[in-house]
Amino acid sequence: MLPINKFKYIISWIPVAILMIIIFCFSAQEAAESMETSQSFSDTFFSILFPDIKKLSAEKQAEIIESCQFIVRKAAHFSVYGLLGILTCTASRFSRFKFYPLISAGICLLYAVSDEIHQNFVEGRSCEFRDVMIDFGGSVTGIAGIILIIQLIQKIKGANYDRNKCI
């Protein structure tokens, strides 16, 4: 059996690998299939957020959804890479890397660049610097968020420890 630290180390990187595989699979979609996937997501998203959209004509619905398509796609990129930042930062911390936030950011940046290069070889897709920056921005936001949460938890634990010490 693996020592607990080695077990944590291995287990913590599994979600990172799974999310990277999911991102790779979505990036491997040709342009038409990718648009169809995001169109389906947008339709569902808008019908939940704006139930009255179904009262509009099909033409007007399509116009509204199409006008928001770009924002929805980029927000999805930002969010998924935010999750990647959280998972990578957590795994790096469990791995006891000295500068785990920087290492996490580096891993996410390299993956964002490789993802865009990969898309360049997929029919109808392209390699966009803007997308690398959106992905990396999401990663950095996720990393910053999880670090703040970790620090808050440590502060609360420290406060509880000090209270118990006085008793």
Tens-digit pLDDT profile for residues 87-97: 999 999 988 88
Q: How many domains does the chain have?
A: 1
96: left (phi over 0), alpha (psi -120 to 50) or beta: left
Buried b (16+ CB within 10 A) or exposed e, 8-28: eeeebbebbeebbeebeebbe
Q: Which residue is it, tokens 């921005």?
A: 137
Q: Which of 64-68, 102-106, 120-124, 146-150 has the lowest mean pLDDT?
A: 64-68
**Domain that includes residue 107, residue range:** 4-166
Of 2-6, 46-50, 87-91, 150-154, where does the model show the most confidence? 87-91
Helix then strand then coil, % of the chain, to nearest 5: 85, 0, 15
For residue 159, what pLDDT band results from cuts at 50, 70 and 90? low
User: What pLDDT shows up at residue 41?
Assistant: 76
- Give pTM, 2 decimals: 0.83
User: What pLDDT shows up at residue 147?
Assistant: 95
User: What pLDDT shows up at residue 3?
Assistant: 57
Which tops the pLDDT comparison, 159 or 167? Answer: 159
User: What pLDDT shows up at residue 69?
Assistant: 79
Report whether 135 contacts 77 (CB < 8 A).
yes
Q: Is 127 exposed, middle or buried (0-12, 13-18, 19+ CB in 10 A)?
A: middle
Which tops the pLDDT comparison, 63 or 105? Answer: 105
The mean pLDDT of 10-34, rounded to a whole number, is 92
